[in-house]
Structure 1
Amino acid sequence: RSDLTKIQQMPQEITSSKEKLINLIGQNRKDQETVLSILKKTEQEANETNKQLKLEEVRLNELREEKIRTEGIIATHKETLKQINDQVRERLGISPDELSQMTNIKPDKPLPSAEDLEKKLERLIQEQERLGGVNLLAEQEAKELEEKVNNIKKDQTDLTAAIAKLREAIDQLNTEGRQRLLAAYGVVNDHFQKLFVQLFGGGKAYLKFTDESDPLQAGLEVHASLPGKKLQNLSLLSGGEQALTALSLLFAVFLSNPAPICILDEVDAPLDDTNVDRFCTLVEEMAKSSLTKFLIITHHRMTMARVSRLFGVTMPEKGISQLVSVDLENAVKIRDNE
């Protein structure tokens, strides 16, 4: 019975299992369709991705080619810019940056058109040609000239200071010279007035500056009034009177600063006997009152008779000169003793 029961139940179990298998097959078909749908969709996406990848590869190749072309253009521009820089340095001697500063070109402002720049360049080239050749040493020469100018200015300052000191020294010398000149003028004028009266036996004479405001630049005038005559200028006197007046002035200057020896060369030549006597008397008085020794060169017999010692040159034989010396004072004493 148990087996029969099992056999009776088997169709039912088979039916149940069949239904389960049918359900499982249906579910697997659904799953298969879902998987196939997903696979198909995935394949479509993969195809689209491959297409997009191929497009991107083509675009990448184009970009690489564009990069190569751009790099070539940049290299060409760099070479052109280098050549332009070299030309600027060669022709103008300055860098492009210095040229931009000189021409006041600002990068943020647009440049003029190429046509305008070419016209300006042509105009500048024509102006340069009219100016002639460019002196490449101009900057160095300008520096040398500037250095020379600075040295000249320095020398000018030193010269100005030296001139100021020199003028100060000149003013001091002029002041001292004016004082000394006026002092010497006073002494000489006093001696001149006394000697004139002594030589002429009277009268009046004096010295006067032509411009008393500036004695150093002024001349000196001699005014003389002989006994019995009116006061007049030296040029209006006779030759002998002028000679005596000149002797008065000469001895006046000599007495202001006497020397040990005084040599007079034929000063008595224009004088007559009376004036020679006065001249000799004056020389004798000056010789006695001072330590000065007078050496007189003369041809006048009166002068030779008044000296202490006489020196002469004779020619006893032709071509042979002989010096003769005579002590007149001792000769007079010998004659008196005899």
Structure 2
Amino acid sequence: LPPAPTDLSQAAEDRTRTRLDRLIRERDAIGPVNLRAEIEAAAIAHSIEAIQRDRDELGTAIAKLRGSIGHLNREGRERLSAVFQQVDRQFQALFARMFGGGRAHLALVGSDDPLAAGLEIYAQPPGKKLSALSLLSGGEQALTALSLVFAVFRCNPAPVCVLDEVDAPLDDANVDRFCALLADMVNETGTRFLVVTHHQLTMARMDRLYGVTMQERGVSRLLSVDLGAAVAMVDAVAAE
């Protein structure tokens, strides 16, 4: 044991020095004192309050958006289902007309949600089995696709429709059916159809023809024939 101090004042001084040394070490460990700490702490607290308010507002906005999205999705499913059924009915009727019989229908596949489902076309031309569109011949695919396009136009007509050589894979009988249906669609919907074709039967059923010819190499010439006016002129001459 160390020798006892000679008096109480020496022991008190030693304790004081020991405490002083400890406090100095603790102060050095703390580092420099930031005299603006209180002000900065208040500013940080204010920022935290602002961020919390923004967070609460964003949470409210997100909840409203989710509710709106849910409402729009429900309305979208209802509208899509209604339009799908309407187009399917028109498609079935037009398919039977284009093929002179048979049956076909549309189906939503791949998901129970109409908004996420895909569309499959099932068709059964006269004398054949019901199959997907991809298993039909080229001509049958063309007639089926035309039936679907015209079904959509019957439900929601557009001012203009461009058909690019859709009659190329069709025989004469089917071209005649196509042209007859095209004339009915013009009368029913008021849509102007621009038909790109090389088929004589199709050209003969059009109101106006536009052709491009190249009599000289590198020089194209546009020709226009008003078949409606020509027919009217022939009828007028015949009436005389």
If the TM-score is normalised by the length of the shorter chain, which range does it land in? Answer: 0.7 to 0.9
Alignment CA distance shift 1:216-1:314 (3 Å)? same
- Which protein is richer in helix relative to its size? 1
User: What residue identity is the alignment partner of 1:217?
Assistant: A
Shift of 1:185: 0.9
User: What residue identity is the alignment partner of 1:179?
Assistant: E
1:186 to 60, 77, 85: 85
Q: Which moved more, 1:188-197 or 1:159-168?
A: 159-168
Q: Does 2:185 match 1:286?
A: yes
SS of match in other structure, 1:113: helix
Mapping of residues 50-199 of structure 1, within 5 Å: 113-125=15-27, 127-128=29-30, 139-199=38-98
Shift of 1:151: 1.7
Shift of 1:307: 0.8
CA-to-partner distance for each residue in 1:247-305, whole Å, 9 max, x for gaps?
A: 11111111101123322232223434443332222102222334222221222222112
Mapping of residues 222-301 of structure 1, within 5 Å: 222-301=121-200
Shift of 1:205: 0.9
SS of match in other structure, 1:227: coil
SS of match in other structure, 2:194: strand
Q: Does 2:85 match 1:218?
A: no
The equivalent residue for 1:76 is none
SS of match in other structure, 2:107: strand
User: What residue identity is the alignment partner of 1:324?
Assistant: L
User: What residue identity is the alignment partner of 2:19?
Assistant: L
- Residues 104 and 124 of structure 2 are in contact (CA less than 8 Å); yes or no, is this contact kept in structure 1? yes
User: What residue identity is the alignment partner of 1:256?
Assistant: C
Runs of 4+ aligned residues of structure 1 deviating over 6 Å after TM superposition are none
Length, aligned pairs only? 225
Higher relative contact order (CA 8 A, sep 6+): 2
Shift of 1:152: 1.7
Alignment CA distance shift 1:141-1:226 (3 Å)? farther
CA-to-partner distance for each residue in 1:174-227, whole Å, 9 max, x for gaps?
A: 222222111111110101111111112221111111257421222222111221
Alignment CA distance shift 1:126-1:290 (3 Å)? closer
User: What residue identity is the alignment partner of 2:17?
Assistant: E
Alignment CA distance shift 1:137-1:281 (3 Å)? farther
Based on CA coordinates, which of the two structures has the bigger radius of gyration?
1
Shift of 1:149: 2.3
* CA–CA separation in structure 1 for the residues paired with 2:93 and 2:220: 43
Q: Any stretches of 5+ residues in structure 2 without a counterpart?
A: 1-13
* CA–CA separation in structure 2 for the residues paired with 1:241 and 1:140: 81
SS of match in other structure, 1:267: coil
* CA–CA separation in structure 2 for the residues paired with 1:268 and 1:280: 9
SS of match in other structure, 1:217: coil
The equivalent residue for 1:331 is 230
CA-to-partner distance for each residue in 1:130-189, whole Å, 9 max, x for gaps?
A: xxx666655554444333322221111111111121122222212222221111111101
* CA–CA separation in structure 2 for the residues paired with 1:152 and 1:237: 62
User: What residue identity is the alignment partner of 1:224?
Assistant: A
- Which protein is richer in strand relative to its size? 2
The equivalent residue for 2:211 is 312
* CA–CA separation in structure 2 for the residues paired with 1:269 and 1:284: 18
Alignment CA distance shift 1:143-1:301 (3 Å)? farther
